[in-house]
């Protein structure tokens, strides 16, 4: 196995990128970091001297998390037992604590986790929730930054009674799972939209073959989608599904990048991302309209991408079957994984760490 770094050339034009809150944070000479088990440290950025330490004691084991967020005088912290905390940035004292409610029993609650960093837009703290095998799947919550009260919730698995709810092969809600939100969101100030990636389901067997029910499909919304939400209300503005009925755990869940590109001879505000197969999809940031794709050449599952819609044609030989073996590239770890992509407005290149 060899590693390589690929650079993808994007068309030139006026460029702009906005990033989300992620990882350890440095502010006014103070370094804030989070470590296991559920501990937040504030360090003097010059000397490394510890200024304060906050230890949260979860009810169960600690989980790895991607970071915390800073907002005004607050440090926003996700915990291993599904709480979101606001700490005083100067003293480390707790300002508020919000316990995220989950459906079902305490045993079912253990299937949910907070792995991504919180994301602050205006007066809302936005937190994604993973739910790999939890009935009903994952979700995103909006919490008021001053009160710690949940003000909205968006479910990343389409409900049967909602638009797109008939795209689960006739499965009832308690048989739908997945749709985890592993990564931070991205915010566009111009459009006042937040963008998140949604993971696939891992219980793929019920989606492998058509159920035969009328007016249903096997797309499994909103898995492998980019979703655009209003940060004030959590209302879905648009979605785009990059890969329907993912049978291989090849997520499109990573960071979304915002920039302005010359597309078709005019500047377009673009939101783009690269999934595990190292295929880049670019969408209109305001509407979700498909614009173009770039395949880095590390996969053998998708044989064609429709130039108008971005719909992927799958090689039937790569579908799982107990009747025959098959070779799929990449494996479930992906040709790209957590190391983020980086776009340079100066060169017009997107830099993408790949494993081939």
Domain ranges, ordered by start, for the chain: 3-20+100-355, 22-69+85-92
State the CATH architecture for 22-69+85-92: Beta Barrel (2.40)
Q: 108 with 56: CB under 8 angstroms?
A: no
Pick the CATH number of 3-20+100-355 from 3.60.21.10, 3.30.70.270, 2.140.10.10, 3.90.1150.10: 2.140.10.10
Q: 100 with 150: CB under 8 angstroms?
A: yes
Beta-bridge mates of residue 239 = 227
Cα 176 to chain center, whole Å?
19
Largest CA distance in the chain: 67
Print pLDDT tens along the chain (356 aa): 333 333 343 433 333 333 334 456 667 789 999 998 999 999 999 999 999 999 999 988 888 898 999 999 999 999 999 999 999 999 999 999 999 999 877 778 889 999 999 999 999 999 999 998 899 999 999 999 999 999 999 999 999 998 889 999 999 999 999 999 999 999 999 999 999 999 999 999 999 999 999 889 999 999 999 999 999 999 999 999 999 999 999 999 999 999 999 999 999 999 999 999 999 999 999 999 999 999 999 999 999 999 999 999 999 999 999 899 999 999 999 999 999 999 998 998 999 999 88
DSSP state at residue 66:
-
Q: Which residues contact 254 (CB under 8 A, 6 or more apart)?
A: 183, 197, 273, 274, 275, 336, 338, 340, 341
Query: Residue 112 in 3-state DSSP?
Result: coil
pTM of the complete model: 0.90
Query: Residue 352 in 3-state DSSP?
Result: strand
């Amino acid at each position: 196995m060899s590693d390589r770094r690929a650079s993808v050339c994007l068309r030139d034009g006026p460029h702009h990128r906005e990033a989300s809150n992620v990882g350890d944070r440095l502010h006014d000479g103070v370094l804030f970091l989070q470590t296991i088990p559920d501990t937040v440290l504030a360090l003097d950025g010059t000397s490394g001297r510890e200024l304060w330490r906050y230890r949260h004691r979860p009810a169960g084991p600690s989980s790895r998390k991607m970071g915390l967020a800073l907002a005004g005088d607050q440090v926003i912290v996700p915990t291993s037992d599904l709480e979101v905390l606001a700490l005083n940035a100067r003293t480390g004292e707790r300002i508020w604590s919000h316990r995220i409610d989950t459906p079902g029993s305490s045993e079912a609650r253990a299937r949910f986790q907070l792995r991504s960093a919180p994301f602050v837009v205006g007066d809302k703290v936005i937190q994604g929730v993973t739910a790999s095998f939890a009935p009903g799947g994952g979700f995103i919550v909006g919490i008021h930054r001053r009160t710690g009260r949940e003000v909205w919730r968006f479910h990343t698995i389409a409900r049967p009674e909602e638009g797109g709810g008939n795209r689960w092969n006739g499965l009832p809600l308690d048989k739908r799972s997945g749709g985890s939100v592993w990564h931070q969101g991205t915010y566009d100030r111009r459009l006042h939209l937040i963008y998140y990636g949604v993971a696939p389901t891992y219980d793929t067997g019920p989606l492998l073959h058509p159920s035969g029910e009328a007016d249903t499909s096997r797309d499994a919304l909103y898995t492998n989608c980019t979703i655009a939400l209003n940060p004030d209300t959590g209302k879905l503005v648009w979605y785009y599904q990059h890969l329907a009925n993912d049978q291989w755990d090849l997520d499109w869940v990573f960071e979304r990048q915002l920039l302005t590109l010359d597309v078709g001879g005019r500047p377009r505000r673009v939101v783009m991302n690269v999934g595990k197969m190292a295929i880049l999809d670019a969408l209109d940031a305001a509407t979700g309209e498909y614009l173009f794709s770039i395949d880095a050449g590390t996969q053998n599952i998708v044989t064609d991408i429709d130039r108008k819609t971005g719909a992927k044609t799958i090689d039937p030989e790569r579908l799982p079957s107990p009747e025959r073996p098959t070779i799929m590239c990449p494996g479930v770890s992906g040709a790209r994984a957590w190391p983020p992509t980086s776009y340079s407005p100066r060169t017009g290149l997107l830099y993408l760490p790949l494993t081939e």
